[in-house]
A and B are shown apart, each in its own frame.
Chain A
Amino acid sequence: MKRNIPLILAFVSGLIVIFSEFIPHRPFSSIVDSLQEWFMIISGFAMLLGVMSLLRMNAAKVSTRSPDWQYHLIGIISFGLMVLMGALWGMEEQAGILGQGASISAWLGKKPFDYTYTHVFVPLSATLFSLLAFFIASAAYRAFIIRTLESNLLMIAAVIVILGRTGFGTMLTGWLPESYRFWHLPNLADYIMQYPNTAAQRAIMISAALGVIGSGLRIILGIERSYLGGDK
């Protein structure tokens, strides 16, 4: 009962979606529209579940006074503030519980949620990702130190693409005559992106698609059941 009904539900919902691709008429088309709407609503609750799980984990660290618990408390507070601002005054054109928050928006220049997003969230996220520019260099050094044909190909392609996308790369090969324009670094970078890269990406996409089709059918047919969890 606890395992069979979910398996039947997955089978039926999966089968309806697949049928609707081949029979795009009522009732399949309308059922699939409803099913996709349901999917979005349930996914929204899944997001809520994820947030609840995160809060629970952080709250446990705060309550047990584990190392650096103060930072986890700050994380919970910043989450609460963001949710509160979004719920009370809304975001962008969306109104919150207290409406559009015209007075507070006039004071801040924009809604509190959007203000926090622009002045705190965006700088934090951009700086965190830009930090990877430093670590990617040391990672590259470790990768390229291995002397094999494969690692050399990887390094040469990376260097050509990096140089080909900068003014420095253009300057390096700019002196080459027009008859050798294929060897200009920007053209070489374009060639790598257009042909060998396309070929490899296409091979990955085709192989991954075969894998996705196989595992999708396994789930729909009930062969793959790991998403049901344990036997409790």
Chain B
Amino acid sequence: MPDLMNTIGIWLAAFFTFCIFSFLYRDNPFYKLAEQIFVGLSAGYGLIYVVYSTMVPNLFAKLSQDFSGNLILLIPFALGLMMLTRIYPKTQWISRYPISIVIGTSAAISVMRSLKTDLLLQVGATIINPFQGSTASEISGNLLVIIGTLCGVYFFYFSKKQEGLAKIPSKIGVYFLMVSFGATFGYTVMARISLLIGRLEFLRKDWLHIIN
């Protein structure tokens, strides 16, 4: 039986693959059907995943095993329920309390993480001796990293109008950003094409058994 169900599963996957690809022709009922099923399944998957990975181990399991020892957990439970009051306009203000705790905590976590990993570590990694490289390409690369980082950061300085000589580093920063966006674009294209190849391989290998 599992083999038959697996075959049915492969046919289902092939059907939905064609439903999505049909959009290349134009918007049609098959695409709309697959799109809405995807939305529904995504929401369902997300909810079940959060319940099993966060809510059960952190809240429900602890409360059911030792209720009196985990009474403190009733506070986030109550705050979570208060969050749901946002759905009705009249009771919306109640949700401000849990939201403020979430926002305050996440803002502080982001501040500290950005300060340590994105600011101090990155600045530290840029303060290097450019001539420590063993080859010409390494030395030129190190120089590019220093110049590109400084000019790029300068480009994002919006407190003063950049004109005249002050515009030059900003312009160099833009060039570096464009090269980076191009490289990122190239990577994205490759990732999407590899997904496309994956789908075509599924159709030819798992569904039609044309290739081994």
**Chain A residues at the B interface, C-beta cutoff of 8 Å:** 2-3, 5-7, 9-18, 21, 34-49, 51-56, 68, 71-72, 74-83, 86-87, 90-91, 94, 106-109, 113, 115-134, 136-137, 140, 149-151, 153-162, 165-166, 182, 189, 191-210, 212-213, 215-217, 219-220, 227-229, 232
Report the bound CA distance from A159 to B178 in whole Å.
13
Q: Helix, strand, loop or mixed for chain A's interface?
A: helix
List, in ascending order, chain B residues with CB within 8 A of A150's CB. 174-175, 178
Q: Helix, strand, loop or mixed for chain B's interface?
A: helix
Give the interface centre of A10, A113, A115 by most chain B CB atoms within 10 Å: A10
Residue of A nearest to B90 (CB): A232
A186 to chain B, nearest CB (A): 13
Name the one of B23, B84, B100, B187 contacting A131, with C-beta atoms under 8 angstroms. Answer: B23
> Please, what's the 1-or-0 string for B189-204, where 1 marks a CB less than 8 Å from any CB in chain A?
1101101101100100
User: Contacts A49-B84, A157-B182; is A124 near B189 (CB within 8 Å)?
Assistant: no
List, in ascending order, chain A residues with CB within 8 A of B208's CB. none
B173 to chain A, nearest CB (A): 7
List, in ascending order, chain A residues with CB within 8 A of B54's CB. 40-41, 43-44
A131 touches B21 (CB 8 A): yes
Residue of B nearest to A18 (CB): B108
B186 touches A43 (CB 8 A): no
User: Contacts A3-B96, A37-B58, A79-B44; is A207 near B37 (CB within 8 Å)?
Assistant: no
B189 touches A133 (CB 8 A): yes
Given A75-B37, A206-B119, A208-B118: 11 more A-B contacts, CB < 8 Å:
A17-B104, A48-B50, A83-B47, A120-B16, A120-B41, A121-B38, A123-B202, A124-B38, A129-B192, A158-B186, A199-B147
Name the one of A35, A151, A166, A194 contacting B141, with C-beta atoms under 8 angstroms. Answer: A194
Report the bound CA distance from A212 to B107 in whole Å.
8
Report the bound CA distance from A118 to B21 in whole Å.
19
- 8 Å CB contacts to A: which residues of B3-25? 3, 5-6, 9-10, 12-14, 16-17, 20-21, 23-24
Report the bound CA distance from A122 to B1 in whole Å.
22
A41 touches B111 (CB 8 A): no
Name the one of B24, B101, B147, B196 contacting A9, with C-beta atoms under 8 angstroms. Answer: B101
User: Contacts A9-B100, A81-B44, A228-B96; is A158 near B189 (CB within 8 Å)?
Assistant: yes
A71 touches B186 (CB 8 A): no
B153 touches A156 (CB 8 A): no
List, in ascending order, chain A residues with CB within 8 A of B96's CB. 2-3, 6, 228-229
